[in-house]
Amino acid sequence: MGWAIALHGGAGDIPVDLPTDKRAPREATLRRCLDLGVAALKAGHSPLDVVELVARELENCPYFNAGRGSVLTTNGTVEMEASIMDGTSKGCGCVSGLTTVVNPISLARVVMEKTPHIYLAFDGAEAFAREQGLETRDQSYFITEQNIERLKQAKEANRVQIDYTQPQPIKEQAIPRSEGDSQIGTVGCVAVDRNGNLASATSTGKMVGRIGDTPVIGAGTYANTICAVSATGKGESIIRNTIARDVAALMEYKGLSLKDAANQVIANAPKGTVGLVAVTDKGDVAMPFNTTGMFRACAVEDGHSEIAIW
């Protein structure tokens, strides 16, 4: 036994010929976040602190779809959601509909620790963030040049499909695939300390007015005394398959190992829709996915560590 940590930057249709200039900064971020998490675990920080810390770092990185760098709606706006769960107490905190909070995962933690509620959203969540003095920034902070360019290209691509004689209003829609990035939703982190305490955190950018799997406990995030799970991929698939909860349920109720439970859950979801990272109280790690790739990294106390995409 010993500590273990796993994190992801999203699963999806990541093309295997991803150019170096897109691949390198993402791998570097995964490396940096892994090192941060490992250092915190070695220093004896609680898994809850560790997953929050790592998720914040991932949110701050503009290359992944969470916090800064979140995918844009056709209005060019950003809306974020996140959830965190403490496996020991089963306490949870969730937020949705954030537009100015720099670190959604931290607001989720404050909801968990400072309110009798679990889930706050939209105006209520934004107001609470201000009450609690969390860092907020203007929308422009979250919008990266890269995403503006991508939005522009997407709109142009759409215009080509539309009959020029009848200009159509472009409704709210997801940015169509380009370089696989827009399919990449979500960042997440799971950790276990030497005492077997577990925690999970997940954060993402979303289309306006829509809630995905990320803030839904049991779907995108789950932690109890047996394992901690963070999922990524197609929201609908993760919600109806209660992905995160099912990994734990298979271990708990059917006695499966983490590897078998995680693989079964992934296999039962439609191909190309989900990935997850998970750790157990014994320090096991699993990072299965049924998409083309998943940005991921993990490390365990005995020294083994890994950073991968496909």
Residues tagged in the binding site annotation: 210-213, 232-235
In the complex, least distance from residue 234 CB atom to another protein, rounded to whole angstroms: 10
Applying CB under 8 A, does 222 fall inside the site for another protein? yes
Q: Which residues of 218-254 are buried (b: 16+ CB within 10 A; e: fewer)?
A: bbbbbbbbbbbbbbbbbbebbbebbbbbbbbbbbeee
- Selected from 94, 107, 143, 307, the binder of another protein by CB under 8 A is 94
Binding residues for substrate: 210-213, 232-235
295 belongs to the binding site for another protein (CB under 8 A) = no
Q: Does 90 bind another protein (CB under 8 A)?
A: yes
- Which entry of 186, 214, 221, 242 is annotated as an active-site residue? 186
Active site residue 88: no
> Which residue, chain included where needed, has tokens 């349920």?
249
Helices 47-60 and 20-42, packing angle to 10 deg: 160
Nearer to another protein, 115 or 153 (CB): 115
Rule CB under 8 A: is residue 267 a binding residue for another protein?
A: no
For residue 302, with 0-12 CB atoms within 10 Å meaning exposed, 13-18 middle and 19 or more buried, which class applies? exposed
**Minimum separation from the CB atom of position 11 to another protein (A):** 18
Burial of 255 (0-12, 13-18, 19+ CB in 10 A): exposed
Q: Which is nearer to another protein, 57 or 81 (CB)?
A: 81
Judged by CB under 8 A, the number of residues near another protein is 41
C-alpha distances (whole Å) from 21 to each of 27, 265, 298 are 11, 34, 23
Q: In angstroms, give the least distance from the CB of 203 to another protein.
A: 17
211 makes contact with another protein (CB under 8 A): yes
Q: Does residue 230 bind another protein (CB under 8 A)?
A: no
Closest CB to another protein among residues 29, 242 = 242
